[in-house]
Amino acid sequence: MLSLREMDVFRHVMELGSITAAAVALKISQPAASRLIQQAEQRLGFPLFLRQKKRLIPTTEARTLFPETVGAFVALDSVQRLAGELRSGRSGLLTIAAIPALASTLLPLAVQRFRKARPGVSVKILAVSAHESANLVADQRADLGLIIGPMTNAALVMFELCAARIGCVLPKKHRLAKRAALTPADLQGEAIISLSRHLPIGVQVERAFAEANTPLRLAMEVTQSAVALALVRADAGVALMDGFALQGSRNRDLVLRPLKPAIESVARILQPRHRPASRLAQEFSDILRLAARDSGLAAPVPERRR
Protein backbone atom coordinates (compact mmCIF):
# COMPACT_ATOMS: atom_id res chain seq x y z
CA MET A 1 0.00 0.00 0.00
CA LEU A 2 1.32 3.42 -0.94
CA SER A 3 2.05 6.01 1.72
CA LEU A 4 0.45 9.45 1.40
CA ARG A 5 3.87 10.92 0.67
CA GLU A 6 4.50 8.48 -2.18
CA MET A 7 1.05 9.14 -3.61
CA ASP A 8 1.65 12.88 -3.41
CA VAL A 9 4.93 12.67 -5.31
CA PHE A 10 3.32 10.40 -7.93
CA ARG A 11 0.45 12.85 -8.37
CA HIS A 12 2.80 15.81 -8.84
CA VAL A 13 5.00 13.95 -11.34
CA MET A 14 1.91 13.04 -13.37
CA GLU A 15 0.63 16.62 -13.29
CA LEU A 16 3.97 18.40 -13.91
CA GLY A 17 5.66 15.88 -16.19
CA SER A 18 8.99 15.52 -14.39
CA ILE A 19 10.50 14.51 -11.08
CA THR A 20 12.47 17.76 -10.91
CA ALA A 21 9.32 19.89 -11.23
CA ALA A 22 7.53 17.71 -8.67
CA ALA A 23 10.42 18.09 -6.22
CA VAL A 24 10.35 21.87 -6.57
CA ALA A 25 6.59 21.98 -6.00
CA LEU A 26 6.87 19.78 -2.92
CA LYS A 27 9.98 21.59 -1.63
CA ILE A 28 12.06 18.42 -1.44
CA SER A 29 15.26 17.41 -3.24
CA GLN A 30 15.20 15.71 -6.63
CA PRO A 31 16.91 12.56 -5.27
CA ALA A 32 14.30 12.34 -2.50
CA ALA A 33 11.47 12.56 -5.06
CA SER A 34 13.14 9.87 -7.23
CA ARG A 35 13.53 7.63 -4.18
CA LEU A 36 9.85 7.96 -3.30
CA ILE A 37 8.80 7.03 -6.83
CA GLN A 38 11.07 3.97 -6.70
CA GLN A 39 9.59 2.98 -3.34
CA ALA A 40 6.08 3.33 -4.76
CA GLU A 41 6.95 1.09 -7.71
CA GLN A 42 8.41 -1.52 -5.36
CA ARG A 43 5.29 -1.51 -3.22
CA LEU A 44 3.01 -1.78 -6.24
CA GLY A 45 5.02 -4.40 -8.03
CA PHE A 46 4.95 -2.63 -11.40
CA PRO A 47 6.65 0.43 -12.96
CA LEU A 48 4.89 3.76 -12.97
CA PHE A 49 7.13 5.48 -15.50
CA LEU A 50 9.36 4.53 -18.40
CA ARG A 51 12.58 6.51 -18.83
CA GLN A 52 13.09 7.48 -22.48
CA LYS A 53 15.75 10.05 -23.43
CA LYS A 54 15.60 11.80 -20.04
CA ARG A 55 11.81 11.91 -20.23
CA LEU A 56 9.32 10.13 -18.00
CA ILE A 57 6.55 8.33 -19.85
CA PRO A 58 3.65 7.19 -17.61
CA THR A 59 2.83 3.53 -17.99
CA THR A 60 -0.71 2.30 -18.66
CA GLU A 61 -0.93 1.29 -15.01
CA ALA A 62 0.09 4.80 -13.91
CA ARG A 63 -2.56 6.39 -16.14
CA THR A 64 -5.15 4.05 -14.64
CA LEU A 65 -4.03 4.78 -11.09
CA PHE A 66 -3.78 8.55 -11.45
CA PRO A 67 -7.52 9.51 -11.38
CA GLU A 68 -8.02 7.43 -8.22
CA THR A 69 -5.02 9.12 -6.62
CA VAL A 70 -6.44 12.57 -7.41
CA GLY A 71 -9.80 11.47 -5.97
CA ALA A 72 -8.11 10.29 -2.78
CA PHE A 73 -6.49 13.68 -2.24
CA VAL A 74 -9.75 15.48 -2.98
CA ALA A 75 -11.43 13.31 -0.33
CA LEU A 76 -8.59 13.98 2.11
CA ASP A 77 -8.89 17.72 1.55
CA SER A 78 -12.62 17.44 2.17
CA VAL A 79 -12.05 15.59 5.44
CA GLN A 80 -9.53 18.19 6.60
CA ARG A 81 -11.87 21.04 5.67
CA LEU A 82 -14.79 19.40 7.50
CA ALA A 83 -12.59 18.80 10.54
CA GLY A 84 -11.69 22.48 10.56
CA GLU A 85 -15.35 23.47 10.33
CA LEU A 86 -16.25 21.13 13.18
CA ARG A 87 -13.38 22.50 15.25
CA SER A 88 -14.58 26.05 14.73
CA GLY A 89 -18.26 25.14 15.12
CA ARG A 90 -19.18 26.17 11.56
CA SER A 91 -20.55 22.73 10.66
CA GLY A 92 -22.06 19.68 12.29
CA LEU A 93 -25.32 18.18 13.57
CA LEU A 94 -26.92 18.77 16.97
CA THR A 95 -29.69 16.36 17.99
CA ILE A 96 -32.05 17.38 20.79
CA ALA A 97 -34.68 15.10 22.35
CA ALA A 98 -37.26 17.29 24.11
CA ILE A 99 -40.68 16.79 25.59
CA PRO A 100 -43.40 18.52 23.48
CA ALA A 101 -44.07 21.16 26.17
CA LEU A 102 -40.52 22.49 25.74
CA ALA A 103 -40.03 21.59 22.08
CA SER A 104 -42.88 23.93 21.11
CA THR A 105 -42.22 26.77 23.58
CA LEU A 106 -38.75 27.41 24.98
CA LEU A 107 -36.77 25.48 22.37
CA PRO A 108 -37.66 27.52 19.22
CA LEU A 109 -36.16 30.75 20.59
CA ALA A 110 -32.94 28.97 21.57
CA VAL A 111 -32.68 27.24 18.18
CA GLN A 112 -33.21 30.55 16.35
CA ARG A 113 -30.37 32.17 18.29
CA PHE A 114 -28.10 29.16 17.91
CA ARG A 115 -28.65 28.93 14.15
CA LYS A 116 -27.96 32.65 13.81
CA ALA A 117 -24.58 32.12 15.45
CA ARG A 118 -23.91 28.78 13.70
CA PRO A 119 -25.75 28.84 10.33
CA GLY A 120 -23.76 25.86 9.04
CA VAL A 121 -24.92 23.57 11.85
CA SER A 122 -28.02 21.42 11.35
CA VAL A 123 -30.37 20.95 14.33
CA LYS A 124 -32.52 17.85 14.68
CA ILE A 125 -35.37 18.06 17.18
CA LEU A 126 -37.11 14.93 18.45
CA ALA A 127 -40.36 15.68 20.31
CA VAL A 128 -40.74 12.68 22.62
CA SER A 129 -41.78 11.73 26.14
CA ALA A 130 -39.44 12.34 29.08
CA HIS A 131 -38.68 8.61 29.26
CA GLU A 132 -37.83 8.47 25.55
CA SER A 133 -35.72 11.61 25.84
CA ALA A 134 -33.69 10.02 28.63
CA ASN A 135 -33.19 6.82 26.66
CA LEU A 136 -32.10 8.65 23.49
CA VAL A 137 -29.49 10.64 25.41
CA ALA A 138 -28.32 7.62 27.44
CA ASP A 139 -27.90 5.62 24.22
CA GLN A 140 -26.01 8.59 22.70
CA ARG A 141 -28.57 8.94 19.91
CA ALA A 142 -29.20 12.53 21.04
CA ASP A 143 -26.69 15.13 22.22
CA LEU A 144 -29.07 16.77 24.71
CA GLY A 145 -32.40 16.01 26.32
CA LEU A 146 -34.96 18.46 27.71
CA ILE A 147 -37.51 17.30 30.27
CA ILE A 148 -39.69 18.65 33.07
CA GLY A 149 -39.51 17.02 36.44
CA PRO A 150 -37.06 14.55 38.02
CA MET A 151 -35.46 11.63 36.22
CA THR A 152 -33.31 8.79 37.52
CA ASN A 153 -30.88 7.20 35.09
CA ALA A 154 -27.29 6.25 35.93
CA ALA A 155 -26.22 6.84 32.32
CA LEU A 156 -27.18 10.52 32.45
CA VAL A 157 -25.90 13.77 33.90
CA MET A 158 -28.75 16.14 34.74
CA PHE A 159 -28.64 19.92 35.11
CA GLU A 160 -31.46 22.16 36.29
CA LEU A 161 -32.31 24.70 33.60
CA CYS A 162 -35.09 26.91 34.96
CA ALA A 163 -38.29 26.79 36.95
CA ALA A 164 -41.89 27.83 36.40
CA ARG A 165 -44.80 28.06 38.80
CA ILE A 166 -47.59 25.53 38.59
CA GLY A 167 -50.99 27.13 38.50
CA CYS A 168 -54.30 27.43 36.75
CA VAL A 169 -54.50 28.54 33.10
CA LEU A 170 -57.57 30.68 32.42
CA PRO A 171 -58.94 32.88 29.67
CA LYS A 172 -58.21 36.54 30.49
CA LYS A 173 -61.93 37.23 30.94
CA HIS A 174 -62.52 34.38 33.39
CA ARG A 175 -63.89 35.39 36.79
CA LEU A 176 -60.81 34.01 38.58
CA ALA A 177 -58.31 35.78 36.31
CA LYS A 178 -58.38 38.91 38.49
CA ARG A 179 -56.88 37.07 41.45
CA ALA A 180 -53.11 37.03 41.98
CA ALA A 181 -53.10 33.39 43.09
CA LEU A 182 -55.57 30.56 43.58
CA THR A 183 -56.07 27.82 46.13
CA PRO A 184 -57.47 24.35 45.40
CA ALA A 185 -60.66 25.45 47.17
CA ASP A 186 -61.08 28.36 44.68
CA LEU A 187 -61.34 25.84 41.84
CA GLN A 188 -64.20 23.84 43.26
CA GLY A 189 -67.06 23.87 40.79
CA GLU A 190 -64.75 24.48 37.81
CA ALA A 191 -64.28 21.94 35.01
CA ILE A 192 -60.67 21.08 35.71
CA ILE A 193 -58.30 19.95 32.96
CA SER A 194 -55.04 18.37 34.08
CA LEU A 195 -52.08 16.55 32.65
CA SER A 196 -51.99 12.82 33.25
CA ARG A 197 -51.55 11.76 36.86
CA HIS A 198 -48.59 9.69 35.64
CA LEU A 199 -46.68 12.82 34.57
CA PRO A 200 -44.65 14.86 37.12
CA ILE A 201 -46.99 17.86 36.95
CA GLY A 202 -50.04 15.65 37.41
CA VAL A 203 -48.45 14.10 40.48
CA GLN A 204 -47.62 17.51 41.97
CA VAL A 205 -51.13 18.84 41.38
CA GLU A 206 -52.73 15.78 42.96
CA ARG A 207 -50.47 16.12 46.01
CA ALA A 208 -51.30 19.84 46.37
CA PHE A 209 -55.03 19.14 46.44
CA ALA A 210 -54.56 16.29 48.92
CA GLU A 211 -52.51 18.51 51.25
CA ALA A 212 -55.27 21.17 51.03
CA ASN A 213 -57.88 18.53 51.96
CA THR A 214 -59.70 19.38 48.75
CA PRO A 215 -60.90 16.64 46.40
CA LEU A 216 -59.45 16.83 42.89
CA ARG A 217 -62.26 16.08 40.47
CA LEU A 218 -60.94 16.11 36.93
CA ALA A 219 -63.25 16.85 34.06
CA MET A 220 -60.55 16.08 31.49
CA GLU A 221 -57.13 14.44 31.59
CA VAL A 222 -54.63 15.00 28.76
CA THR A 223 -51.05 14.01 27.97
CA GLN A 224 -49.86 17.21 26.24
CA SER A 225 -49.94 20.85 27.26
CA ALA A 226 -51.03 22.00 23.78
CA VAL A 227 -54.21 19.93 24.09
CA ALA A 228 -54.99 21.43 27.50
CA LEU A 229 -54.53 24.97 26.14
CA ALA A 230 -56.82 24.23 23.20
CA LEU A 231 -59.51 23.01 25.59
CA VAL A 232 -59.22 26.19 27.69
CA ARG A 233 -59.60 28.30 24.56
CA ALA A 234 -62.68 26.31 23.64
CA ASP A 235 -64.14 27.26 27.05
CA ALA A 236 -64.20 23.58 28.03
CA GLY A 237 -62.64 24.27 31.41
CA VAL A 238 -59.56 25.57 33.23
CA ALA A 239 -56.20 23.79 33.14
CA LEU A 240 -53.78 22.97 35.94
CA MET A 241 -50.29 23.13 34.46
CA ASP A 242 -46.98 24.98 34.61
CA GLY A 243 -45.85 28.27 33.11
CA PHE A 244 -43.71 26.63 30.43
CA ALA A 245 -46.80 25.98 28.35
CA LEU A 246 -47.64 29.70 28.11
CA GLN A 247 -44.36 30.72 26.49
CA GLY A 248 -44.88 32.35 23.09
CA SER A 249 -47.01 35.12 21.67
CA ARG A 250 -49.81 32.80 20.61
CA ASN A 251 -50.79 32.36 24.28
CA ARG A 252 -51.39 36.02 25.11
CA ASP A 253 -55.13 35.39 25.35
CA LEU A 254 -54.54 33.17 28.39
CA VAL A 255 -53.16 33.80 31.86
CA LEU A 256 -51.69 31.57 34.55
CA ARG A 257 -52.57 32.19 38.17
CA PRO A 258 -50.20 30.29 40.50
CA LEU A 259 -51.49 27.91 43.11
CA LYS A 260 -51.11 28.62 46.81
CA PRO A 261 -48.97 27.33 48.42
CA ALA A 262 -46.43 27.77 45.62
CA ILE A 263 -45.35 24.74 43.61
CA GLU A 264 -42.47 24.86 41.14
CA SER A 265 -41.95 22.78 38.03
CA VAL A 266 -38.31 22.43 37.01
CA ALA A 267 -36.99 22.00 33.47
CA ARG A 268 -33.79 20.00 33.17
CA ILE A 269 -31.07 19.38 30.60
CA LEU A 270 -29.90 15.80 30.11
CA GLN A 271 -26.45 14.84 28.83
CA PRO A 272 -24.78 11.43 28.47
CA ARG A 273 -22.62 10.65 31.47
CA HIS A 274 -19.96 8.63 29.65
CA ARG A 275 -19.32 10.98 26.72
CA PRO A 276 -18.05 14.55 27.06
CA ALA A 277 -20.50 17.10 25.72
CA SER A 278 -19.55 18.42 22.28
CA ARG A 279 -18.69 22.07 21.81
CA LEU A 280 -21.99 22.53 19.98
CA ALA A 281 -23.97 20.92 22.82
CA GLN A 282 -22.23 23.10 25.41
CA GLU A 283 -22.87 26.24 23.38
CA PHE A 284 -26.52 25.35 22.85
CA SER A 285 -26.99 24.73 26.59
CA ASP A 286 -25.65 28.23 27.30
CA ILE A 287 -27.99 29.77 24.72
CA LEU A 288 -30.90 27.80 26.14
CA ARG A 289 -30.28 29.27 29.60
CA LEU A 290 -30.29 32.80 28.17
CA ALA A 291 -33.48 32.06 26.23
CA ALA A 292 -35.15 30.84 29.44
CA ARG A 293 -34.11 34.01 31.25
CA ASP A 294 -35.30 36.26 28.42
CA SER A 295 -38.63 34.42 28.30
CA GLY A 296 -39.35 35.53 31.86
CA LEU A 297 -38.84 32.13 33.45
CA ALA A 298 -37.22 31.86 36.84
CA ALA A 299 -33.45 32.26 36.85
CA PRO A 300 -31.66 28.91 36.66
CA VAL A 301 -31.15 27.41 40.07
CA PRO A 302 -27.57 26.45 41.01
CA GLU A 303 -26.53 23.44 38.98
CA ARG A 304 -25.89 20.21 40.72
CA ARG A 305 -24.93 16.89 39.20
CA ARG A 306 -27.24 13.95 39.69
The number of distinct structural domains making up the chain is: 3
Same domain? For 73 and 219 the reply is: no
Same domain? For 279 and 290 the reply is: yes
**306 is a domain residue:** no
Same domain? For 137 and 215 the reply is: no
Same domain? For 175 and 227 the reply is: yes
Q: Tell me, what's the pLDDT at 96?
A: 95
Dihedral angle sign, alpha carbons of residues 220, 296, 177, 248: negative
Identify the domain boundary among 37, 68, 88: 88
Q: Tell me, what's the pLDDT at 237?
A: 95
**155 is a domain residue:** yes
Q: Tell me, what's the pLDDT at 279?
A: 85
Same domain? For 258 and 273 the reply is: no
Burial pattern 155-173, b for ≥16 Cβ within 10 A else e, equals ebbbbebbbbbbbbbbeee
The pTM of the whole model exceeds 0.75? no
Q: Tell me, what's the pLDDT at 232?
A: 94
**278 is a domain residue:** yes
Same domain? For 153 and 128 the reply is: yes
Q: Tell me, what's the pLDDT at 248?
A: 61
Same domain? For 116 and 243 the reply is: no
Give the whole-angstrom CA distance, residue 242 versus residue 150: 15
**113 is a domain residue:** yes
**299 is a domain residue:** no
Same domain? For 157 and 274 the reply is: yes
Same domain? For 148 and 270 the reply is: yes
Query: CA 87: distance to chain centroid?
Result: 17
Q: CATH code at 110?
A: 3.40.190.10
Same domain? For 122 and 140 the reply is: yes
Q: Tell me, what's the pLDDT at 250?
A: 63
Same domain? For 270 and 156 the reply is: yes
Q: Tell me, what's the pLDDT at 153?
A: 87
Identify the domain boundary among 88, 119, 145: 88
- From the first residue on, what is the mean pLDDT of each consecutive set of 10 residues in the chain (306 residues)? 86 88 90 91 89 84 87 73 59 86 89 91 91 92 91 89 90 93 94 85 87 92 88 94 74 87 89 86 92 76 45
CA distances for 144 relative to 137, 224, 263, angstroms: 6, 21, 26
Instruction: With beta carbons less than 8 A apart as the criterion, state whether 98 and 125 touch.
Output: yes
Dihedral angle sign, alpha carbons of residues 72, 77, 79, 80: positive
Same domain? For 278 and 147 the reply is: yes
Owning domain of residue 23: 4-88
